[in-house]
Structure formats: C-alpha cells, structure tokens
Amino acid sequence: MPILNRARRAIGKRWYALKPTDRLIELVADQRNSESAAVLIEALKERRAHQDGSLDHLDWSLVRLNGALLSSCRLKNARFSGAQLRGAYFGYSDACSADFSGSDLREANLREARLTDAVFDGADLRFANFARAMLRGSSFVGANMANANLWGADLRGANLTNASMAGCEVFNVALDAATILPDGKAGADASRLRQFIRAKPSVRD
C-alpha cells in the first residue's frame, strides 16, 4: 500500500506540473481529500521554488487543508479566510500579515511562526499551538482561543478584544501597553490576562 501511495503521488505531481499556477490554486480549493490536497501543495511549493521560493500572497480562502504540512514556508499576505485548517502544521513559517479570519485552526501547530500583523478575527483556535510565535500587532477579535498554547508568544500590540481564552497557557507571554485584552482595555499586566483564562475550558470535539 505505501508503494502504491507513493506511485500515485508521483503521477499526481507530474500531472500537476503541466498545470499553470492559478489552476493549481483552484484545484486545491476544490479538493475534498487531504491526500490529494497534500500532493497539490507539494506541486505548488516546487513551482514557486523555481520562481521566488515563496507562497506569498496566494489566496487559500475557503480551502480544505486539514492536517496540511506548511512548515517553514513563506506565506506573507496569504489569505486563509474561512479555510479548514484543523491540525495543519505551520511551524517556523513566515505568515506576516496573513489573513486567517473565520478559519478553523483547531489543534493547528503554529509553533515559532512569524505572524506579525496577521488576522485571526472570528477564527476557531481551540487547542492551537502558538508557542514562541511572533504575534506582534496581530488581531484575534472574537476568536475562540480556548486551551490554546501561547507559551512564550509575543503579543505586543495584539488585539484580543472579545477573544475567548479559557484554559489558555500564557506563561512567559510578552505584552505591552498597546496590547488590547479581551475586555477591550489596553494593558501590559500579565496578571490581568490570566483573569480571562480561568473560565471553564472547552472540550475537544
């Protein structure tokens, strides 16, 4: 079975190599199978590697990429609004100014990702891992961040207005006077932030 799967991926990559980049992006959006989506993403990475080596500015809105591997990628200004990204891996990627508004990022791993000025408004971030992520100036307005791991994350200038943070891990987070806490008030006091994580945490679903 592993040999058959490798053969299918090889054939798929050769077939996709004949498609223009815009068409590959359309095909990713149409996928309902995570394995097929993974092959398409690999083809896109290879295509862009021969250009500027990045996936910057691509529009992934509403795509289904649950469990996708997008680690160490350049994703600046990419659009993931409304995308299904549950369990996706963005570790060490540069996604500054990317738009994740309304997306499903439950259990996604964004460890040590660069997410300066990224937008997560209204996103489902339950159990997501943002450990040591750069989140300066990012927006989490109305996001569900219950049980998210923010250990060591840089939240200076971030907007957490109306974000649900029950059960979050916030040890050693960086805040400043420009950080807006869930109550809509600015403050760099970590003890105030901890007040919002004491509510009953959510359950995995």
CATH number of the structural domain spanning residue 170: 2.160.20.80
Same domain for 127 and 81? Answer: yes
pLDDT digits (tens, 9 = 90+) for 92-119: 999 999 999 999 999 999 999 999 999 9
Threshold 0.85, pTM exceeds: no
Same domain for 171 and 185? Answer: yes
Number of domains in the chain: 2
Query: What is the CA angle 48-54-56, rounded to 5?
Result: 115
Out of 43-57, 64-78, 159-173, pick the least confident.
43-57
Q: Quick check: helix, strand or coil at residue 200? A: coil
Residue with tokens 């990022």: 105
Range of the domain at 134: 54-205
Assign 65 a pLDDT band (cuts: 50, 70, 90): confident
Same domain for 92 and 176? Answer: yes
Q: Quick check: helix, strand or coil at residue 170? A: coil
Same domain for 86 and 139? Answer: yes
- DSSP string of 116-169, one letter each residue: TT-B-TT-B-TT-B-TT-B-TT-B-TT-B-TT-B-TT-B-TT-B-TT-B-TT-B
In whole angstroms, give the CA distance from residue 63 to residue 38.
12
Whether the predicted pLDDT of 37 surpasses 80: no
Same domain for 201 and 123? Answer: yes
Give me the helices (H) in the chain, please. 2-16, 21-30, 34-49, 190-195
Q: What's the length of the chain? A: 205
